[in-house]
Amino acid sequence: MQNNNKTILVTGCAGFIGSNFVPYFLEKYSNYNLVNLDLLTYAGDLENLKECEANPRYKFIKGDICNRELVEFIFNEYDIQGVIHFAAESHVDNSIKNPGVFVQTNVNGTFTLIDVAYKYWMEKPFTYKKRYGNEALASSSLKDDTKVSFPRFHHISTDEVYGTLSLDPNDLFTEKTPYAPNSPYSASKASSDMIIRAYNETYGLNTVITNCSNNYGPKQHDEKLIPTIIRNALLGNSIPIYGDGKNIRDWLYVLDHCKGIDLVFHNGKTGETYNIGGRNERTNLQIVDRICEILDKEVPLGTGNLFPANQKAEDKSSVPNIKSYEELITFVEDRAGHDRRYAIDATKLENELGWKADENFDTGIVKTIEWYLNKYGIEK
The answer to whether residue 281 is catalytic is no
The answer to whether residue 91 scores a pLDDT higher than 80 is no
Residue 165 lies in a domain: yes
| Average pLDDT rounded to a whole number, residues 70-84 | 97
How many structural domains are present in the chain? Answer: 1
The answer to whether residue 370 scores a pLDDT higher than 60 is yes
**What is the domain-level CATH number for residue 61?**
3.40.50.720
Kindly give, in sequence order, each residue whose CB lies less than 8 Å from that of residue 343, ignoring residues fewer than 6 positions away: 165, 169, 171, 172, 173, 213, 248, 250, 277, 281
Tell me the pLDDT tens digit for each residue of 146-201.
Answer: 444 689 999 999 999 999 999 999 999 999 999 999 988 999 999 999 999 999 99
Q: Determine the Cα–Cα distance for residues 234 and 325; give it in Å rounded to an integer.
A: 8
Our measurement of the distance from residue 132's CA atom to the centroid of its chain's CA atoms, rounded to an integer in Å, reads 29
Tell me the pLDDT tens digit for each residue of 48-73.
Answer: 999 999 999 999 999 999 999 999 99
Other CB atoms within 10 A of residue 204 CB: 24
Tell me the pLDDT tens digit for each residue of 236-258.
Answer: 889 999 999 999 999 999 999 99
Q: Determine the Cα–Cα distance for residues 79 and 298; give it in Å rounded to an integer.
A: 49
Higher pLDDT, 303 or 111: 111
Q: What is the pLDDT of residue 9?
A: 98
Name the active-site residue from 38, 89, 159, 262: 159
Residue 11 lies in a domain: yes
The answer to whether residue 282 scores a pLDDT higher than 70 is yes
The answer to whether residue 306 scores a pLDDT higher than 50 is no
Q: What is the pLDDT of residue 329?
A: 94
Q: Please give the backbone phi and psi of residue 85, each rounded to the nearest 5 degrees, phi first.
A: -100, 100
| Average pLDDT rounded to a whole number, residues 82-86 | 98
Q: Determine the Cα–Cα distance for residues 114 and 85; give it in Å rounded to an integer.
A: 9
Residue 274 lies in a domain: yes
Residue 65 lies in a domain: yes
Q: Determine the Cα–Cα distance for residues 271 and 204; give it in Å rounded to an integer.
A: 9
Banded pLDDT at 308 (limits 50, 70, 90)? low
Q: What is the pLDDT of residue 146?
A: 40
Most distant CA pair in the chain: distance in Å?
74
The answer to whether the beta carbons of residues 175 and 240 sit under 8 Å apart is: no
CA count, 13 A, side-chain hemisphere, 116:
24
Name the active-site residue from 185, 216, 342, 372: 185
Tell me the pLDDT tens digit for each residue of 8-32.
Answer: 999 999 999 999 999 999 999 999 9
Q: Determine the Cα–Cα distance for residues 244 and 225; give it in Å rounded to an integer.
A: 15
Tell me the pLDDT tens digit for each residue of 219-237.
Answer: 998 889 999 999 999 888 8
Name the active-site residue from 38, 89, 118, 160: 160
Q: Determine the Cα–Cα distance for residues 55 and 1; give it in Å rounded to an integer.
A: 9
Residue 148 lies in a domain: yes
The answer to whether residue 90 scores a pLDDT higher than 80 is no
Lowest mean pLDDT among 81-85, 134-138, 241-245: 134-138
Kindly give, in sequence order, each residue whose CB lies less than 8 Å from that of residue 324, ignoring residues fewer than 6 positions away: 292, 296, 301
Q: What is the pLDDT of residue 220?
A: 94
Q: What's the DSSP call for residue 319? A: S
Kindly give, in sequence order, each residue whose CB lies less than 8 Å from that of residue 261, ignoring residues fewer than 6 positions away: 21, 84, 154, 156, 210, 276
The answer to whether residue 45 is catalytic is no
Q: In sequence order, what are the beta bridge partners of 331?
A: 241
Banded pLDDT at 207 (limits 50, 70, 90)? very high
Tell me the pLDDT tens digit for each residue of 333-366.
Answer: 988 878 889 999 999 999 999 999 999 999 999 9
Q: What is the pLDDT of residue 315?
A: 40
The answer to whether the beta carbons of residues 255 and 368 sit under 8 Å apart is: no
Banded pLDDT at 115 (limits 50, 70, 90)? very high
The answer to whether residue 122 scores a pLDDT higher than 70 is yes
Residue 285 lies in a domain: no
Q: In sequence order, what are the beta bridge partners of 240?
A: 330
Our measurement of the distance from residue 165's CA atom to the centroid of its chain's CA atoms, rounded to an integer in Å, reads 21
Residue 240 lies in a domain: no
Q: What is the pLDDT of residue 134?
A: 52
Q: Determine the Cα–Cα distance for residues 216 and 214; give it in Å rounded to an integer.
A: 7
Q: What is the pLDDT of residue 317?
A: 39
Q: Determine the Cα–Cα distance for residues 151 and 153; give it in Å rounded to an integer.
A: 7
The parent domain of residue 272 ranges over 6-220+253-280+343-360
| Average pLDDT rounded to a whole number, residues 252-274 | 97
Angle at Cα 375 formed by Cα 371 and Cα 379, nearest 5°?
Answer: 85
Torsion of CA 172, 213, 10, 356, to 10 degrees: -80
Residue 318 lies in a domain: no
Banded pLDDT at 92 (limits 50, 70, 90)? confident
The answer to whether residue 262 is catalytic is no
In the chain, what percentage of residues exceed pLDDT 70? Answer: 91
> What's the mean per-residue pLDDT of the chain?
89
Higher pLDDT, 139 or 118: 118
